[in-house]
Structure 1
Amino acid sequence: MSQQSSDILLERMMSLHPKIIDLTLDRVWRLLEALDNPQRALPPVIHIAGTNGKGSTQAMIRAGLQAAGQRVHAYTSPHLVRFHERITLAGEVISEPALTEILDDCERANEGADITYFEITTVAGLLAFARTPADYTLLEVGLGGRLDATNVIDKPALTIITPVSLDHEQYLGDTLAKIATEKAGIIKRGVPCIVGPQQDEAMDVIETRAAELGAPLLAYGQHWHVWEERGQMVFQDENGLRELPLPALIGAHQVQNAGMAIAALRHLGFDDTAFDAATRDAQWPARMQRLRTGPLVDAAHGAELWLDGGHNPAAGNALVEALSRLPNRPLHMICGMLNTKDVSGYLKPLAQIAQGLHAVSIPDTPATLSATQTMQAAQSIGMDAQVANSVQDAVEAITANTPNARILICGSLYLAGDVLRKNA
């Protein structure tokens, strides 16, 4: 089968429902039933929700499990370069023939009925997992949790809620409590839930929901602790203290993400082999990723290039902290964002450390903000901002004036994916 065959199927699936996002589980349950309920045949599931850190935490758990000899399925979204990245089967990204087969089976079973792209492709992932032997299944929530297409597992082995903050307010609600209610929708009766650092308003909601369902909580600051000390990461819970390597992923927030991963692995009965690998071996593109080769790096002529897909105020704060740990260089930003995001909220913390911003639109992305709109949002909070026609044009303009710049390309995973494709 050619690469085009899955592309054609995916393109057809985009037209099955007029709304890109329409939160309900009715269509998912209908299609799962038509496929003989593959969600009931999965290896033990670890289900992960939250606003920030879901992907990094999942990547660390996966690295730990694999180091312990486990075969791991993983589902994540969105993809950066190819759709196949969303579905990992027993440690390997799904092949083109396997992807085409499951997409075709899902399309046939759906019989042209209304269903969103995310819903039908999530069902395809579950179908692939049910057909391939493995030891664990890692499911990352796409949006929210309660009505997310991944929330169809009756009895997962474990749930995880990473830090909750404001994002996707138009779908999840305009307060932290409302958003936390959606995230806490993945908690299941009697199933332990690992909880990362939370603001009090979110934690109150999570604790209330867990109490209603008799779900034991293993919460940061209560049941486990994690911190950085003398160049190492220290994890402590009721079973004792472990000194581990700092996460390979950059930033203090990755220490917290690693803490959630270690708490999960510890609860599942794994030991230091898994813990070390979770911190040392995890890879997660477009999360403070240093670009070291490719056409963009060549165009930078010695300037540093970094790529990050964060897009909400909490991500902006995390970037500032991560950048503060690097040797000093003048920081310039290249930013493109979606029109559903809080642009000013994301940029405000970064405005304190950036010397300038070049705004771009995200290629081939209907929901992109125009470069002019992003520039105006940056200027409204006092940033020195201008428009660039492309990321490459922006890199060349920045390095022409500041050869030793640190350039951060940021604002959207869609922009990050476009950069990775073109810089390959």
Structure 2
Amino acid sequence: MTTVPHSAGRGAPRPWSASSDTLLERLKKLHPQSIDLSLGRIERLLAALGNPQDTLPPVVHVAGTNGKGSFLAFTRAIAEALGKGVHVYTSPHLVNFHERIVLAGPHGSAPIAEDFLVDCLARAEAANGGELITLFEITTAAAFLAFAETPADLLLLETGLGGRLDATNVVKHPLLTSITPISIDHVSFLGETLTEIAGEKAGILKACVPCVVGRQMQEAFTVIARRAEEIGAPLHVVGRDFDMYEQHGRLVFQTEERLIDLPLPRLNGRHQIDNAGTAIAAASLLFGDALAARALEQGVTHAEWPARMERLSVGGLHAFVADGTEIWLDGGHNAAGGQVTAHTLAELDERLPRPVHLVYGMMETKDAHAFIAPFKGLVERVYTVPIPDEPNAFDAEALAEIAKAEGFDVVPTASVPDALTRSQAALDGPGRVLICGSLYLAGHVLKLHG
């Protein structure tokens, strides 16, 4: 891949003086009072910008409820192990907006530079002309400018919400699509049943474009398969066309033609075996005979995806706990996320039993009962926390009532440091603390941890 500086392709320098934070705050004011999922607003804006979505590098478009980010992390790591330049688009960010737009460069991929982000946001704002538009739509348009103007071999593109009417679904001819596991989430926008939600996710399927389908409940898969047959999208399905499993402490990936023995994924949790296997299936389609086992090994062992059962390094928040106490962080926020996180916590306890406490914060738009229920029998106490600067988050007292109703011993607290301090006093020695319930909480924790 030939690379150029991230500022290339933009023409003469523009005298933008605002920071990206200032621009983003201003763009939030263009948000409609109510969101009707549609493509009309972003299609209008992209046309005014010269339709950059039509000149993107080859696109892998990903939808699903859980596992999208991990799938992208593994796919990116595999592609980069092959020497490919990779752009990545994800949301939401954890600490800094720049994380959402990762650009290929001569020394590997990195979050977009501030000057280029400001440039792209300002051009999108000018082209929009003050019309109502959601923040995700206008920032997606800005991201497409950056991706179109920076050379790369591949763009890994994650949907923001759903699929069929998601702002990313203006890409008409992706190289590959993938649908990761689907569960109940965002019911006010996508529907209250698995069938309805799967129908929205399946909206990213394109005629003649292969789709790698992660492990699904039958109800969701039936919808995906029906849509694929309607439009002529070939499916590559886990359990039928490929499979992956743990054997003797190794990851085994298998098709009819091939069996690959690899180290276990770097990312924690049995569910990451599925995510890694789905990424390997995607990489097999993308790179064919060029896909060496060494690149797969490097990919699964080097993939990074913060706040997904991440053990925080010593420092920062460890000042509030005893030496030897483990602090874990996970951004899962729906029923399926709670199940896989609880399962991973149980696996940790099998290997090294320790008293376990939860520090728990959540957005009011999520099903707090369904998320925390799988932790029954695993944790001794729950400490609920508010999420700073998030008006739609549960306050600690309301969330504590929900956890109590699910049968937990609960203490509402004022902050994460307060929760950790109280937890440590109760533990009276080294323990294991999991901070969980929201990506917004995870981002706040990473800022605190430093």
User: Per the shorter chain, which TM-score range?
Assistant: over 0.9
Deviation of the 1:278 alpha carbon:
2.2
What amino acid is aligned across from residue 119 of structure 2 in structure 1? E
Listed one character per residue, the Cα deviations across residues 210-255 of structure 1 (whole Å, up to 9, x for unaligned) are 0011111000011000000001000011331000111100001100
The equivalent position to 2:405 in structure 1, one of 380, 384, 391, is 380
Deviation of the 1:293 alpha carbon:
2.8
Structure 2: give runs of 5+ residues left out of the alignment.
1-14
Q: Does residue 1:244 correspond to 2:270, yes or no?
A: no
Work out whether residues 398 and 405 of structure 1, in 8 Å CA contact, stay in contact via their aligned partners in 2. Answer: no
2: CA distance, partners of 1:301 / 1:355: 17
Listed one character per residue, the Cα deviations across residues 312-346 of structure 1 (whole Å, up to 9, x for unaligned) are 11111101211122111111000000000010000
Moved more, 289-298 or 386-395: 289-298
1:141 maps to: 159
1:286 maps to: 307
Work out whether residues 37 and 165 of structure 2, in 8 Å CA contact, stay in contact via their aligned partners in 1. Answer: yes
Moved more, 290-299 or 142-151: 290-299
Work out whether residues 57 and 258 of structure 1, in 8 Å CA contact, stay in contact via their aligned partners in 2. Answer: yes
Q: Does residue 1:416 correspond to 2:442, yes or no?
A: yes
What amino acid is aligned across from residue 63 of structure 2 in structure 1? A
Work out whether residues 16 and 122 of structure 2, in 8 Å CA contact, stay in contact via their aligned partners in 1. Answer: no
2:339 maps to: 317
1: CA distance, partners of 2:83 / 2:135: 34
Work out whether residues 360 and 370 of structure 1, in 8 Å CA contact, stay in contact via their aligned partners in 2. Answer: yes
Listed one character per residue, the Cα deviations across residues 256-290 of structure 1 (whole Å, up to 9, x for unaligned) are 00011000001112231331122100000000010
Listed one character per residue, the Cα deviations across residues 76-134 of structure 1 (whole Å, up to 9, x for unaligned) are 00000000000001112100001000001100000100100011011111110000000
What amino acid is aligned across from residue 374 of structure 1 in structure 2? L
1: CA distance, partners of 2:34 / 2:152: 31
Work out whether residues 16 and 118 of structure 2, in 8 Å CA contact, stay in contact via their aligned partners in 1. Answer: no
In the TM superposition, structure 1's runs of 4+ consecutive aligned residues that sit over 2 Å from their partners are 1-4, 18-22
1:215 maps to: 233
Q: How many residues align?
A: 424
2:370 maps to: 345
1: CA distance, partners of 2:416 / 2:373: 21
The equivalent position to 2:433 in structure 1, one of 400, 407, 411, is 407
Deviation of the 1:17 alpha carbon:
1.6
The equivalent position to 1:200 in structure 2, one of 218, 222, 230, is 218
Listed one character per residue, the Cα deviations across residues 120-177 of structure 1 (whole Å, up to 9, x for unaligned) are 0111111100000000000011111111111111110000000000111111101000
The equivalent position to 1:257 in structure 2, one of 275, 286, 309, is 275
2: CA distance, partners of 1:3 / 1:51: 38
1: CA distance, partners of 2:418 / 2:281: 44
Deviation of the 1:4 alpha carbon:
6.4
1:359 maps to: 384
Work out whether residues 331 and 356 of structure 1, in 8 Å CA contact, stay in contact via their aligned partners in 2. Answer: yes
What amino acid is aligned across from residue 410 of structure 2 in structure 1? A
Work out whether residues 18 and 118 of structure 2, in 8 Å CA contact, stay in contact via their aligned partners in 1. Answer: no
1: CA distance, partners of 2:296 / 2:236: 17
1: CA distance, partners of 2:119 / 2:376: 47
**Distance change >3 Å, CA 293–CA 21, structure 1 → 2:** farther
What amino acid is aligned across from residue 420 of structure 1 in structure 2? L
1: CA distance, partners of 2:156 / 2:164: 17
Aligned partner of residue 286 in structure 1, secondary structure: coil
2:294 maps to: 273
2: CA distance, partners of 1:150 / 1:89: 17
2: CA distance, partners of 1:20 / 1:73: 31
2: CA distance, partners of 1:352 / 1:29: 50
Work out whether residues 307 and 410 of structure 1, in 8 Å CA contact, stay in contact via their aligned partners in 2. Answer: yes
2: CA distance, partners of 1:156 / 1:343: 36
Work out whether residues 305 and 408 of structure 1, in 8 Å CA contact, stay in contact via their aligned partners in 2. Answer: yes
What amino acid is aligned across from residue 33 of structure 1 in structure 2? A
Within a 5 Å distance, the mapping from 1:101-250 to structure 2 comes to 101-250=119-268
2:320 maps to: 299
1:84 maps to: 98
Aligned partner of residue 407 in structure 1, secondary structure: strand
What amino acid is aligned across from residue 58 of structure 1 in structure 2? L
1: CA distance, partners of 2:251 / 2:160: 29
Work out whether residues 334 and 357 of structure 1, in 8 Å CA contact, stay in contact via their aligned partners in 2. Answer: yes
2: CA distance, partners of 1:245 / 1:2: 48
2: CA distance, partners of 1:187 / 1:273: 31
Work out whether residues 3 and 96 of structure 1, in 8 Å CA contact, stay in contact via their aligned partners in 2. Answer: no
1: CA distance, partners of 2:133 / 2:293: 43
Structure 1: give runs of 5+ residues left out of the alignment.
none
Q: Aligned-residue CA RMSD in angstroms?
A: 1.3
Identity of aligned residues (%): 51
**Distance change >3 Å, CA 94–CA 369, structure 1 → 2:** same
2:66 maps to: 52
Deviation of the 1:354 alpha carbon:
1.0
What amino acid is aligned across from residue 130 of structure 2 in structure 1? G
1:328 maps to: 353
2: CA distance, partners of 1:21 / 1:279: 38
Aligned partner of residue 264 in structure 1, secondary structure: helix
2: CA distance, partners of 1:2 / 1:229: 55
2: CA distance, partners of 1:19 / 1:73: 32
Moved more, 1-10 or 269-278: 1-10
Moved more, 272-281 or 125-134: 272-281
